[in-house]
Amino acid sequence: MLSVLRNRTYRHLFTAQVIALVGTGLATVALGLLAYDIAGSDAGSVLGTALAIKMVAYVAIAPAIGAVADRLPRRALMVGADLTRATVALMLPFVDQVWQVYVLIFLLQSASAAFTPTFQAVIPDVLPAERDYTQALSLSRLAYDLESLFSPALAAALLSLITYNWLFLGTVAGFLASAALVVSAILPKPHATTETPGGSGYARATAGSRLFFATPQLRALLALNLAVAAASAMVTVNSVVYVREQLGRGAADVSLALGAYGGGSMLVALLLPRVLDRVSDRTVMLRGALLLTLVFATLGALTAVGSGGWRWPALLLTWAAFGAACSMVLTPTGRLIRRAAPPEERASAFAAQFSLSHGCWLLTYPLAGWLGAAAGLQSAVVALGVIALTGGLLAMWLWPPNEPALAEHEHTGLQDDHPHLADAVRVQGGWRHSHSYLTDGLHAHQ
């Protein structure tokens, strides 16, 4: 898996991603302490609102960035996003009003909504070989999981020496280092856009979403995003409730439960590159979604049991299974988008995935918290389990099982220098070539 790091450009970009993730993790810890200083007992409400603002920024900003990503230098876009994030993080220690926190969080997450989809769209061009790209996706999944374990531990160690305000400086340093690494990377030139002149801003902003709704595999991915969001919301929102209230364990055990989730995800991410050499993306992702349903059923049984010392290890195994199943769905996602979207539309497609997946979390996060508090954990488990099952079954129905890997077809009416015809052969009346199945403006009837 580490062989892809021999590619200098990818190595710099991956390192930038890891450093920025650690910086973001430090900011998350510091933000919680800042909210407590400002709001006291209402800190939970402040953080909940900040999380909702984060999701709104992701859902709203990513499509707008996707509309212009192919018209801006990708290096400049990512560096600008990093510098914006560094500036916002530098301002956070000086706020003393809740509304100031909300404004800065919106700016910070808007910059992240610009950086992440652009980064994701660059990697397929840096690593065009499918095996290399699969390994890069697994490394990226590992980076996210390791950050969730490493950043809190690093923050705890630093807080024994400094006050939490200094953690924001660690965030600033992380974003500045990320920007420097992006500057040092030699990025491939973006593919020319296939959009016809005069397209409206709205059309450009919604191009990725329209591609998702028009393509069978990507419609299935929307359903899979919903299933994953149901599981991750249960873990993220209710881990503390299960550990502290249901099991009566200490605060440190909350970190162990979240670590079990990350451990399950990392194990699958390590195994998937070899598995995907032999098994299709569809098989892996759909089995992961259906596994989520089984894990929810297990969690429902565990929640119904009133007592027993075995419930703690059972919860750890359940959380690890959640992590493994989510990783089965999430890790191959980039491969699916790369195959379904033409190169010139990848930026819009990745932006749409970023926005639409976070839209699912915007639904499931409040549901997990509000329903759990109002009606009890069992009701939250049932509701989110039904959502996961619905998403999995819908994905099975939407994703054709025997879709051909390559579709041979002809284009008529395109200009000879159109970028989509780069590998096409001239035939009577048009151009003929073959590529992965696409359903977009050029292939509505492929």
pLDDT tens column, 64-98:
776 666 677 888 888 999 999 999 999 988 888 88
pLDDT tens digits for range 340-363: 777 767 777 777 787 788 888 888
Enclosing H/E stretch for 430 = strand 430-435
The structural domains of the chain, with segments of one domain joined by +, span 7-192+200-205, 208-403, 405-446
Order of all β-strands in the sheet with 430-435: 407-411, 430-435, 425-427
pTM for this model (two decimals) = 0.74
Higher pLDDT, 343 or 113: 113
pLDDT band, residue 367 (cuts 50/70/90): confident
211 contacts 337 by C-beta, under 8 angstroms? no
Number of H helices, E strands in the chain: 15, 3
Lowest mean pLDDT among 168-177, 206-215, 307-316, 421-430: 421-430
Q: What is the pLDDT of residue 197?
A: 41
Enclosing H/E stretch for 407 = strand 407-411
Shared fold status for 7-192+200-205 and 208-403: yes
- CATH no. of 7-192+200-205: 1.20.1250.20
The SS3 assignment for 250 reads coil
The topology under which CATH files domain 208-403 is: Growth Hormone; Chain: A; (1.20.1250)
